[in-house]
Structure 1
Amino acid sequence: MFATDASRVKALRLEALGDPVAHIAFLDTLEAAQAQPEEFWVDRTVAAALSDQAAQFVAEENSVWIGSVTVLHREGDRALLVAVYVRPQSRGGSILNQLVAAAQTWAERQGCRELALEVHEDNLRAQAAYRKLGFVLTGEASDGANGRELEMVRALPSAV
């Protein structure tokens, strides 16, 4: 990803925030994201492309971005998946698996031993998709701005 991709990053993020379950899937709102200046999107894109603490991966089909995941590594041996989105017409196939695999490879290079994520307790579709990818509920939960979030983790092959 390059700074020149900022408009595409913005467009995909706005699409994700317009999803019917965005209110339980994202901490951001469509209105807040639309109000951000263009430099915000350039900074966000550059940070995801050049940082050793965050990376954004995008799925593309026929030159159209159809999904994205961001992975964060702040400290320790755990990476956190956030901002996961796959266009509705592309769900149910291998796109999510490919995005998570790319995030996993990056996390392993950072020395991580597991991937973690938080999913809203009411987002059953996402929970099922993550279970298919080997994520398991840890029993940990937190109450955030959009409600109760359940923690799920998946050990990385390098940790097994």
Structure 2
Amino acid sequence: MPDSAAVRRVRLSEADRVRSIRLEALRDPAAGIAFLETHDQAQARPAGFWQERAAGAALGEFSAQFIAEAGRDWVGTATVLIPEPGGVDYFGRPHVAGRALVVAVYIRPSHRGGGILSALMDAAAEWAGDQGQRELALDVHEDNARAQAAYARVGFVATGMTSAGPNGVEREMLRAL
């Protein structure tokens, strides 16, 4: 990989690092349109929240968080969710069977454009496929052209579907597995 970063699933013992990269992501200039929580909200969460989040991301059957690690530094992350059949997603849309959701994608600005997004999405796709999913879906804010272009480069295609979220209009993109 160009940035010589390795991608792997988070580990149960890494709650502090899960919290740290989430807080870093929420400081990004695009965070206001890219994430559904604020830095202050995440920072106020108790240690138990982060331990539970790390446990689910490391061991869960319905969620997995992947990180890109350059040396000992975490420089990127993406989380995959498999919604409960018959349930609804974070925008209240009915879950589509065979569709995993990619959320909380972040790559440190100094490492963007070097192949990390592709590696994270490949790891997400492999895990989702192993869980019996047929496609990955994600939502990207209509004003986030940089992210839309990056996702298109790694195989996501805009469906033409939009949703009104708390941050504005989100465009749905899919990647077949």
Aligned partner of residue 14 in structure 2, secondary structure: helix
Deviation at 1:110, TM superposition (A): 0.9
Which one has a larger percent helix, Structure 1 or Structure 2?
A: 1
Instruction: Give the count of matched residue pairs.
Output: 156
Q: Supply the distance in 1 between the matched residues of 2:37 and 2:79 (Cα, whole angstroms).
A: 14
> Which structure is higher in RCO with an 8 Å CA cutoff and minimum separation 6?
2
Match of 1:109 among 124, 130, 138: 130
Letter in 2 for 1:27: L
Letter in 2 for 1:85: Y
1:72-113 Cα deviation digits (max 9, x unpaired): 112421111000000000000110000000000000011111
Match of 2:19 among 10, 15, 19: 10
Deviation at 1:51, TM superposition (A): 1.0
What residue in structure 2 maps to residue 47 of structure 1? 56
Aligned partner of residue 84 in structure 1, secondary structure: strand
1:128-157 Cα deviation digits (max 9, x unpaired): 00010111110100001111000000111x
TM-score by length of 2: 0.86
Match of 2:157 among 127, 136, 153: 136
Kindly indicate whether residue 98 of structure 2 is the aligned counterpart of residue 77 of structure 1.
Answer: yes
Runs of 4+ in 1 over 6 A off after TM superposition: none
Match of 1:94 among 106, 115, 119: 115
Letter in 2 for 1:113: R
Q: Supply the distance in 2 between the matched residues of 1:51 and 1:8 (Cα, whole angstroms).
A: 18
Unaligned 5+ segments in structure 2 are 1-9, 86-96
1:1-37 Cα deviation digits (max 9, x unpaired): 2332011011100000000010000001000001011
Deviation at 1:50, TM superposition (A): 1.3
Match of 1:58 among 42, 45, 67: 67
TM-score by length of 1: 0.95
Letter in 1 for 2:115: S
Percentage identity across paired residues of the two chains:
56
What residue in structure 2 maps to residue 123 of structure 1? 144
Q: Supply the distance in 1 between the matched residues of 2:127 and 2:71 (Cα, whole angstroms).
A: 24
Unaligned 5+ segments in structure 1 are none
